[in-house]
Amino acid sequence: MLLAYDIGNSDITMGLWNGNAWKVWRIPSRTDQPELFYGIKIRDSFLEADLPTELVEVIVISSVVPGLTDKIKNVVRSLFKREPIILGPGVYDKLPLEVLNPYEIGSDLVANATAAYFKLKQTCVVVDFGTALTFTTVSGKGKILGVSIVPGLRTAVRALSQNTAKLFDVPLEMPTSALGRNTVTAIQSGIVIGYEGLVKSVVLAIRKELNEECPAIATGGLSFVITSLKGFFHTVDPQLTLDGLRIIGELLSEKKNV
């Protein structure tokens, strides 16, 4: 089995691939917690699912939180007795994908681009709805062409609630009307409907610049929030990042064993 870790700013997504499907757990990203905290969380996840740790053969880690990378790496070494693959500049030259600015781009975006490239084999845009809303464009020849980044949906809502005395955090749901009738629906209207236009505008600008009708794939924990965008996307795939890590892990482990 293959175990993948997508360490993000809000959560650590842990996915176990059995050859057919993902078993997924989420752990809050807390840099103030010691290794022991994560060791217990990961061990308990396997115990509760009645999964022996010996089943894990390959481990891949993507992290955009430097303060957690070594903690998770040390924990998985101890629990699974395996050396994890750390997705980063040190392995990018071994991938069948040309990575733009390898020391700047987030490893999660590289995983997204890898999965999209292998799934579609054509120029496409990955829209990742996470703490940040990112647009990663990959060519049909396997080259990351560029990235656009804006604050994510929840980040935008929190910025309002934290910096405005009379506003507060609200649930991220598609409002029934663009005319907010109270504080909650006013924020939902502005953020959710506003981001619908933002997503379309960025993707259409990319298509215009490339002069291609490249499909857009949505992923990330908030990819289902803007329901009106469902028809705009070629696919909504919440496990795209994990699939990218799986593909990378399989490729690199095969090369290592050759």
**DSSP string across 3-22:** EEEEE-SSEEEEEEE-SS-E
Whole-number Å distance between alpha carbons of 137 and 112: 10
Q: In what order do the strands lie in the sheet with 235-236?
A: 144-151, 132-138, 124-129, 216-219, 235-236
Which residue among the candidates 6, 32, 70, 108 is catalytic per the annotation?
Answer: 108
Q: Is 108 one of the catalytic residues?
A: yes
- Angle at the Cα of 139 from the Cα atoms of 133 and 142, rounded to 5 degrees: 105
Cβ proximity of 192 and 172 under 8 Å: yes
Q: Which of 195, 163, 202, 156 is nearest to 178 (CA)?
A: 195
Whole-number Å distance between alpha carbons of 55 and 82: 11
Long-range contacts, stretch 135-140, CB < 8 angstroms, 24+ apart: 135/202, 135/203, 135/206, 136/109, 136/112, 137/206, 137/210, 137/214, 138/97, 138/113
Q: What are phi and psi of 187, to 5 degrees?
A: -70, -45
Cβ proximity of 12 and 68 under 8 Å: yes
Cβ proximity of 13 and 6 under 8 Å: yes
Q: Which residues are catalytic?
A: 108
